[in-house]
Amino acid sequence: MKNNLKIGLLIFLVIFIFSSIFLSSFAAEKEYKIYVVVHGGIADPFWKVCEKGALDAGDLYDDLEVIYTGPAVFKLEEFMAYVEAALASEPDALVCTLTAPEAMDESLRAEIAKGLPVVAINAPDLRDPEDRIPVLTYVGEDSYFIGVKAAQETLARFTPKRAIFANHHPGATHIEARGRGYIDTMKAKGVIAESLDITEDAVKGAEMVAAYLKAHPETDAIFCSNTMRTETIIPRLEADGVKVGVDVKIAQMDSSSKILEYIQEGKVMFTMDQQQYIQGYLGVVFAYLSAKYGYIPPPAPVSTGPAVITADNIPALEDLVKEGYR
């Protein structure tokens, strides 16, 4: 028994160390290494599109290695740990979401001062201009405006009695800014509007929206901040007998095959498209060109949205969604 344990542990050690050395010899060193760190979750269909953009950009250049990472589900502390790990790897450039600029300020500012090119994507630093982290540029949505635009598009179709912004990432400043844009615009038109925290869990989130509608049955407009959440909210509300698209009209962010179906069926009025493929793609291209040639990218914001997708746009988008570009 004792000998078995000793031998087992020794074999374990030897296999691990030799396999490590063996495998590491295959890891061909590329000249430029760029980390792309997003707040996640990386398993979210939305982020798969961004990842494809980043990796496609990496494939453009033979001397470029792109490492894309982030937490499995949104968790700020874990995201920060990935940012720190990426910085500790001493990459040639970093592309990241500025999800919580206050929390990221200290680390990023120090590295930028040392000359690291940093490109922000998807989530901008929304603080006063003089307080912002001095990144090269920002590629992505104008968060507040996207909320304003979603409210305006809704109001152009009907005037809700009560509206909610369903926030799936409480703590993410850009998502909160979207909510503020939506709520401010609704309130300016006299509509009761508020933010509802639907948590990181899509299933729990659907339950929370269902409960909110029971407490406030006059609610007839929802702006949902995430595709996966809309995909769970609609069947959950229908299970309660709510006629989605009639009793409650939904607007939402980004697209997926299912969302396009819902738009065609009239269950989702429209979706705001922030074209996250471009965020990943241009983020990497700008970072690489800066690291290699010292090019300065276009100033922030390099806007990738909002585009509004309605039933009219679906024929052109269906295949692109399936291929992972939209």
Q: What residues line the site for another protein (CB under 8 A)?
A: 2, 5-6, 9, 12-13, 16-17, 20-21, 23-24, 27, 35, 42-43, 65, 67, 69-72, 74-78, 80-82, 84-90, 100, 102-103, 105-106, 167, 170-171, 173, 176, 195, 197, 199-200
CB of 298 to another protein, least distance (A): 29
Nearer to another protein, 166 or 234 (CB): 166
Specify the residue for token string 């899509």.
202
Nearer to another protein, 88 or 156 (CB): 88
301 alpha-carbon distance from chain centroid = 16
Calpha distance 127→28 (Å, rounded)? 41
CB of 215 to another protein, least distance (A): 13
CB of 320 to another protein, least distance (A): 24
Calpha distance 37→97 (Å, rounded)? 7
Nearer to another protein, 37 or 268 (CB): 37
Calpha distance 302→284 (Å, rounded)? 13
Calpha distance 247→266 (Å, rounded)? 12
Calpha distance 299→143 (Å, rounded)? 17
Give the up-direction half-sphere exposure of residue 54: CA atoms within 13 A in the CB hemisphere: 31
CB of 184 to another protein, least distance (A): 14
Q: In what order do the strands lie in the sheet with 307-309?
A: 192-197, 162-167, 219-224, 249-253, 268-273, 307-309
Return the structure tokens found at 315.
């024929």
CB of 164 to another protein, least distance (A): 12
Task: Spell out the residues 6+ positions from residue 248 whose beta carbon is closer than 8 angstroms to its own.
Answer: 213, 219, 220, 221, 222, 237, 242
CB of 121 to another protein, least distance (A): 17
Nearer to another protein, 21 or 156 (CB): 21
Nearer to another protein, 148 or 172 (CB): 172
CB of 245 to another protein, least distance (A): 27
**DSSP annotation of 254:** S
Residue 275, helix vs strand vs coil? coil
CB of 74 to another protein, least distance (A): 8
Nearer to another protein, 81 or 296 (CB): 81
Nearer to another protein, 104 or 244 (CB): 104
- Which phi and psi angles does 117 have, rounded to 5°? -75, 125
Calpha distance 77→79 (Å, rounded)? 5
Nearer to another protein, 173 or 275 (CB): 173
Helix axes 257-265, 314-323, angle to 10 degrees: 160
Give me the residues paired with residue 140 across strands. Answer: 303
